[in-house]
Amino acid sequence: MINEKYIPSEVEAKWQKNWAKEQAFSTEVNRQRPEYYVLEMFPYPSGNLHMGHVRNYSIGDVVARYKKMQGYNVLHPMGWDAFGMPAENAAIKHGVNPADWTWENIANMRRQQHQLGLSYDWDREIATCHVEYYKWTQWMFLLFYEKGLAYKKKATVNWCNECNTVLANEQVVDGCCWRCDSIVVKKELEQWFFKITQYADRLLEDLKDLKGWPDRVKTMQENWIGRSTGAEFSFDVPEISEKISVYTTRQDTVFGVSYVVLAPEHPLVEKLIAGKAEQAAVRAFVDRVRNMSEISRTSSETEKEGVFTGAYAVNPFNGEQVPIWVANYVLVEYGTGAVMGVPAHDQRDWEFAVKYSLPKRLVIQAPNGELATDTMTEAYDGPGKMVNSGEFSEMDNQAGKNAICTWLEQRGIGQRRVNYRLRDWLVSRQRYWGAPIPMIYCDKCGVVPVPKTDLPVTLPQNISFETGSVSPLAKVEEFVNCTCPKCGGAARRETDTMDTFICSSWYYFRYTDPRNTSQPFDSVKANYWMPVDQYIGGVEHAILHLLYARFFTKVLKDAGLINIGEPFKNLLTQGMVIKDGSKMSKSKGNVVSPEEIIAKYGADTARVFILFAAPPERDLEWSDQGVEGAYRFLGRLWRIVGHYADSLVNAPAKYDVNSLDKNGRELRRALHVTIGKVSDAVGERFSFNTAISSIMELVNALYAFKEADANAQPGLIREVVSGLLRLLAPFAPHITEELWHEVIAEGSVHEQAWPEVDLEAVKVDEVEIVLQINGKVRDKIIVPVGLNATELESKAFEQEKVKELLAGKTVVKVISVPQKLVNIVVK
RNA sequence: GCCCGGGUGGCGGAAUGGCAGACGCGGAAGACUCAAAAUCUUUUGUUGGCAACAACGUGGGGGUUCAAGUCCCUUCCCGGGCACCA
């Protein structure tokens, strides 16, 4: 018997318990059915779900449930990105144990996820801080090391004073720390790196195959990788018997070089100025630039400044001596740390030359032939004909680029070169709460990897947290001191932990085989499920996580562990949840707590609202009244099904469709039109908002039917309600389950097949045709379906209103579109 | 500066080149009620008109087309990404 009033808390708790008991969403490899892997980015266990999570999981849950009803074997797991700074900060601030803090947060957030009624296979839950997980993260590190992809080097690295640790380039946003926003400084440190640059080309190339990714994300990755092609060659510096190697993409302009510039950190600077009058000035300049912050140093707004070294280099193309400068706009990390200056054809060089009165020489003439350095006001970087370029003069500059390279290669003084903006991934962190890097330092044997059989390297408990610049693990004697696996002598452990982005770079593989104790995952299982068919998360990971995960996947493929090269086939980047015009945040005080909303309206309402209020990729404006609307809609559904409950329970499963009257046929048509619309919206377009609006229309149609026809055929009502509940089930899983159970059948609505359109039901025998005169709607007529253009036209001219409006006018043209409209053009 | 998104009623948002504003919110009216809430029904782009109806209307300006929110050109505004990468 259906309760008169819809009380979500009762319905939802009941079914959540039931699904948990039945393990309704557990999955195994099954080759009888097509597989489908839907994944939402796993959360950091901060303690509470926020609306962004609710949105993320609601979207994923709709996809998972829909695919399941379509007959797919669906994998839909959940876990925790559980290592990271907040746990450690809580430890420092409140003296709690990071592990305890993390596990408590996980427990709370898991409880909140249960309240949302998400269809996860909870047997596959993982947490990256669990020793059975990070053991395999360490295994991955060793794999990278074996493959020569993990190495240690001393380098200038990004350091965050607030977080007391180094950061990867990807984690520096506008010169600030991605996590705490404080200014990042440079430090010279010996650190572990992953050789992601070795995969730069493939990471770039394979973007083309990611048809299911938003262009925006692909473009961002493309920019980040920043591939360029050009030439590298040397300028001789006879006075010190050295060469300065430069990289350029504009080798076609080599005859226009009027100076060579080094980065302040370039290793040759000291040698060049040794004993020269310029020595003091150059050193002062270099010191000043080095002390500039990263932000002002790399901003294109910063004025180009430089200083002459007093030394000269020889242009190998024309033998000219050109001055060597040091300037702030040259970066030591990119290319060779030295560039050739061609003021006429590079805007930066132009500005620099103007400031220091360096000569400009035109070597590319524009197609209109009007360029001259005296009349130019800025550099010309367009295409053209090479001039003043010796044997290359008169060549098209594109062809010239090639010819110059060939010239260099033939003489052995240079070659074609590809360069990337992407740098290797700095993966060490001077923090406690992360996976320890499984490396050992032995005085005799040097750097020795921990044997895989000795894993895991366990994080010690009972550790004291004081702020300082050494890694917390370095202070734990029992952890640091160990024996060398090679010689058995006394040795020390690496005390840095891994960047947590390593943990999240392979978790989607672990889900495919989460309890494996002998390997990170079984290849057969991973190959069955992978790639992830639909990945869903925020666009803020467009570069970070999504680039690292792609890198990992390629390395694992090369290592023979899997047979796919890309982890995520389709990517949906959801928009933010906004309130009062800005992102929900504690500091803005505009946070709406999911738990409160669920307590007041239920999870179904929260889900329906959040999916209905905006398309998934766009930002979503939170509206309390909108939530009320979603709640009202579910109430309306509840009541209309309740109204028909008696006849539904006794309804026949089959009935004679031909016996329906006009109202009945229309209702049945509404059902099947809705099935078509919702299937298209959910399955093809991820347009959940319009899917829900179509379902709302069907409910409205049911109310209209009730008003019009008191004696409904039970068979028809059953067909409609059964279809309606199945259509809504992925969105509002609890209420549909309850109603299904009460009025349709014993089993779960979520085990049912997705409804199919009956084309017969959708057919109509009359259509409305719009009559336009000069493109303006003047009348509408109902005509039998299938009239051709000519028949329609004559019908149109028969209309009294049309005749009236045409009186005294000349018909110029008539456009007649069957099933749609007739447009009469008159003068 | 460059590259992506986006600009549609009072609001969130719909519209394979073919009736702009589906659906929801908000507003108005009616029914039920002693009354209110809840619910159900009707209505609701703007302007003019008692009305039938007409004109206007998708950031601005041009264009293509019988027909443009949708295609093309141009311009403005908002959001995001990249930005001395040679």
Domain count along chain A: 4
> In Å, what is the separation between the CA of A573 and the C1' of B4?
14
CATH number at residue A236: 3.90.740.10
Does residue A153 fall inside a structural domain? yes
Helices (H), A255-374: 269-273, 279-290, 294-298, 347-356
- The answer to whether residue A494 is domain-embedded is yes
Instruction: Tell me which nucleotides of strand B come within 7 A of a protein CB.
Output: 3-5, 11-15, 18-20, 22-26, 38-42, 54-55, 66-68, 80-86
- CATH number reported for the structural domain that contains residue A816 in this entry: 3.10.20.590
Domain assignment of residue A51, yes or no: no
Pairwise CA distance, residues A642 & A426, whole Å = 61
In a domain, A527, yes or no: no
Residue at A789 is within a domain: yes
A343 within 8 A of A308, measured Cβ to Cβ = no
Q: How far is the CA of A707 from the C1' of B41 (A)?
A: 9
Full domain range(s) for residue A777 = 766-826
Which one, of A354, A337, A342, lies nearest residue A317 by Cα?
A: A342
| Same domain (yes/no): A676, A743 | yes
Residues A728 and A608 in one domain: yes
Using one digit for the tens of pLDDT, what is the confidence trace for A220-262?
A: 898 899 888 899 999 999 999 999 999 999 999 999 999 999 9
CA of residue A621 to C1' of nucleotide B57, angstroms: 26
Residue listed under structure tokens 């690496």? A494
Are A750 and A629 part of one and the same domain? yes
* Same domain? A399 vs A460: no
Domain end call among A468, A501, A534: A501
Residues 189-218 of A with CB under 7 A from strand B: 215-216
Same-domain pairing of A349 and A274 = yes
Q: Answer yes or no: are the C-beta atoms of A78 and A633 closer than 8 Å.
A: no
Do A774 and A793 fall into the same domain?
A: yes
Which of the nucleotides lies closest to A613 (Cα–C1')?
B12
- The pLDDT value given to residue A364: 92
B10 C1' – A623 CA distance, angstroms?
15
Residues A633-642 pLDDT 10s: 999 999 999 9
Is residue A673's pLDDT more than 80?
Answer: yes
Burial A415-432 (b: 16+ CB within 10 A, else e): ebbebbebbbbbbbbbbb
- Check whether residue A753 and residue A791 sit in a common domain: no
- Band (pLDDT 50/70/90 cuts) for residue A730 is very high
Q: Is residue A102 part of a domain?
A: no
* Strand B atom within 7 Å of A817 CB: yes
Q: What is the ipTM of this complex?
A: 0.95
How far apart (Å, rounded) are the C-alpha atoms in residues A8 and A10? 5
Last residue of a domain, one of A747, A762, A777: A762
Whether any strand B atom is under 7 angstroms from the Cβ of A341: the reply reads: no
Query: Is the per-residue pLDDT at A196 higher than 90?
Result: yes
CB-based contact A195:A151 (threshold 8 Å): yes
Cα A681 → chain centroid: 22
In whole angstroms, B24 C1' to A52 CA is: 21
A390, A495: one domain: no
On the question of pLDDT at A512 being above 90, the answer is yes
Q: Which of A718, A738, A762 is the last residue of a domain?
A: A762
> Is the shortest CB-to-strand distance from A482 to strand B under 7 Å?
no
For residue A283, give the amino acid letter. R
Query: Is strand B within 7 Å of residue A696 (CB)?
Result: yes
- Compute the average pLDDT of residues A521-531: 97
Same domain, A719 and A816: no
What distances in angstroms separate CA A106 from CA A123, A257, A463, A516, one per listed residue? 15, 61, 22, 22
Domain assignment present for A587:
no
Residues A179 and A277 in one domain: no
Residue A53: name the closest of A537, A534, A511, A535 by CA: A537
Lookup result for tokens 């023979």:
A560
pLDDT at A782: 86
Is A270 within the bounds of a domain? yes
The reply to whether A285 and A347 lie within a common domain is: yes
Strand B-contacting residues in A 585-614, CB cut-off 7 angstroms: 612-614
Is residue A477 within 8 A of residue A174, CB to CB? The reply is no
Average pLDDT estimate for A376-399:
90
Asked if the Cβ of residue A423 lies within 7 A of any atom of strand B, the reply is no
Percentage of chain A modeled with pLDDT above 90:
67
CA of A671 vs C1' of B46, distance in Å?
A: 35
Distance of CA A375 to the CA centre of its chain: 47
My answer on whether A428 and A393 are in the same domain is: no
Q: How distant is C1' of B8 from CA of A615, in Å? A: 16
Distance in angstroms between the alpha carbons of the first and the last residue of chain A: 68
For helices A98-115 and A8-22, what crossing angle results, to 10°?
110
Residues 304-323 of A with CB under 7 A from strand B: 304
Residue A175 pLDDT level (bands cut at 50, 70, 90): confident
**Residue A748 and residue A18: Cα distance in Å, rounded?**
10
